Amino acid sequence: MTRSLQAVAYRQPSVLRSAAGGHQLGLETSRGSTPTGVEDHPRFFAGFLTSPRIGAAGLLAVADVAAARYHQPQLRASLDPVVTGNGDRLRFESFSGCGGVYARLDVLGPGLDGGEVGHGTTNVDVNNPLREALSRIGGDDPLHLRVGPEELAVTTLDGPVVEKKVPLPDRWLRGFAEAQVTAAGFDLRAELPADEAVRFLRSLPRSGPGRRPAGGPRWVVPVGRGLRPTTRAVPGAVCLPGPERLAALQRVLQYATALRVYGPAVIGAAARGAATAAAWEVVLPGMRLTLTLSPDASRGFSGEGGVLDALATDEAAADAELIAVLLAWEPRVDVAELAVGSGLTPERVRAALVRLGTSGRVGYDTAEAAYFHRELPYDAERVERHNPRLRSARALVAAGAVALEGLVGTVTAEDGHVHRVRDDAGVLSCSCQWWAKYRGGRGPCKHALAVRMVRRGSAVAPELSDVDGGGR
């Protein structure tokens, strides 16, 4: 598995201080992107949290996920959350070390007071002493929040005094991108009032490794005001794989006003009982905390294949460059407006947004059913370069291994085996073992991708033709 070290540097450690009449929370920022370019320590907000205890609990929940590995939990992870200023809100995001849980705390306008929200994205330091201090916040004392350096220090920074080097596996980066693409296919499936939300979430296991139930993946279905477990993927059901992975929601449960559950329609592979991803959102006063779970506790988002079709087209690559210029850290990306501004069709805009997601330049908010602009502070461009199925597909095209005859494509693999790819109303199936195992449930195989590239006339990047054999 390919990995690199990411240097994250802060001016000083984030800290919570007691002050006259309340608390002061200073969250230190690292190098990040802003509308005026890259800054070493951008400043996004200085004001008050209207609900201090809830805000502290939400930040701790995001930090919990950043430090967690739900699969093979004995291996620790330590990745600082990401903060984005969208002009009207602050978003704090994290991704578990095992690559199977995505967390985001949206601190909305009503949750903030007394300061303007800036624009940009960077890492934010959440260290162990800060976590301990946040967990002790009680009462309703005011909490002043500063995201970024002290105002007087902005122009006098001499260099960072806190530096971390964290490993960033390619699989982790791909998973961060795939989680957004997966969530874009969700719809609201259930909304529970506060009392039912508390009852349901408290009934779930809080710890222990996820185990696949003997009868298959867990499912829940809306019944009345609540959710009822079911063993079958009935219409309207939502998959709940590894329910202990929702443990971070316990941090904010006492403050919940509602619980919203999002998932894909139960069709195709899901209707045959295959597990699917889902998003669980706790609605809070002035905030939202969302956890998105991969289809299995032992299965991260990196192998879901949701971005592969968009990556496989040269058209989407050019479109993405155009759309990127039009983004301006909007809290809600309007596809129709981008279509007008770019001259592209809405379909091409959506494909371009998927492509931008693979480099961390957009996220997806299930509550608003819309993308939002952010720039992940990682070397995420290598997500495309090192995607094994995409690399293998491009190598097949470069080697002339694809032949088309009507709706059938014939692909001669590296080992000499011949695979047939059929087109059924735009849905490709393949005779290979990968497709037989997943039936399209984890995106297209490398043979189907290669056929699609040839049909679209996609060019093959020369640097991608040297394949490491990791494709499927």
Which two tokens mark 313?
Answer: 């087209």
Which two tokens mark 416?
Answer: 């000499």
Which two tokens mark 297?
Answer: 């506790």
Three-class DSSP category at 451: helix
Please tell me whether the overall predicted TM-score, pTM, comes out greater than 0.75 for this model: yes
* CATH architecture for segment(s) 3-167: Roll (3.10)
Which ranges of the chain have pLDDT less than 70?
A: 1-3, 73-78, 151-161, 206-216, 267-273, 303-314, 379-387, 440-441, 458-472
**DSSP-assigned letters across all residues of 36-91:** TEEESS---EEEEESSHHHHHHHHHHHHHHHT--SSSTTS------EEEEESS-EE
Fold of 178-301: DNA Polymerase III; Chain A, domain 2 (3.10.150)
Mind spelling out the 3-state secondary structure of 86-102?
ECCCEEEEEECCCCCEE
CB 298 within 8 A of CB 176: no
Q: What is residue 308's predicted lDDT score, i.e. its pLDDT?
A: 67
Contacts 24+ apart (CB under 8 A), 195-200: 196/225, 196/226, 196/227, 196/259, 197/253, 197/256, 197/258, 197/259, 197/282, 198/253, 198/254, 198/256, 199/226, 200/226, 200/227, 200/259
Q: What is residue 470's predicted lDDT score, i.e. its pLDDT?
A: 37
- Crossing angle of helices 388-398/446-456, nearest 10°? 50
CA distance 196 to 188: 17
CA distance 173 to 360: 9
Place of tokens 């990040």: 32
- What are the residue boundaries of the structural domains of the chain, listed by start? 3-167, 178-301, 308-382, 387-464
**DSSP-assigned letters across all residues of 133-159:** HHHT--TT--EEEEESS-GGGTT----
CB 302 within 8 A of CB 3: no
Count of residues in the chain: 472
> Half-sphere exposure (CA, 13 Å, Cβ side) for 44?
35
CA distance 271 to 260: 22
Asked whether the CA dihedral 168, 174, 176, 177 is positive or negative, the reply is positive
User: Residue 196: is it exposed, middle or buried by C-beta count within 10 angstroms (0-12/13-18/19+)?
Assistant: middle
Q: What is the strand order of the sheet 408-412 is part of? A: 402-405, 408-412, 418-424, 427-430
Three-class DSSP category at 266: coil
Q: What is residue 462's predicted lDDT score, i.e. its pLDDT?
A: 34
The total of other beta-carbon atoms located within 10 Å of residue 470's CB is 14
Give which of 248, 245, 260, 249 is closest to 295, Cα–Cα.
245
Domains 3-167 and 178-301 share a fold: yes
Express each pLDDT in 379-408 by its tens digit. Answer: 655 555 656 787 788 889 989 999 998 889
Which two tokens mark 236?
Answer: 């309207």
At the top level of CATH, the class of 308-382 is mainly alpha
The total of other beta-carbon atoms located within 10 Å of residue 450's CB is 33
Q: What is residue 156's predicted lDDT score, i.e. its pLDDT?
A: 45
Give which of 26, 24, 54, 45 is closest to 287, Cα–Cα.
54
Asked whether the CA dihedral 422, 424, 426, 427 is positive or negative, the reply is negative
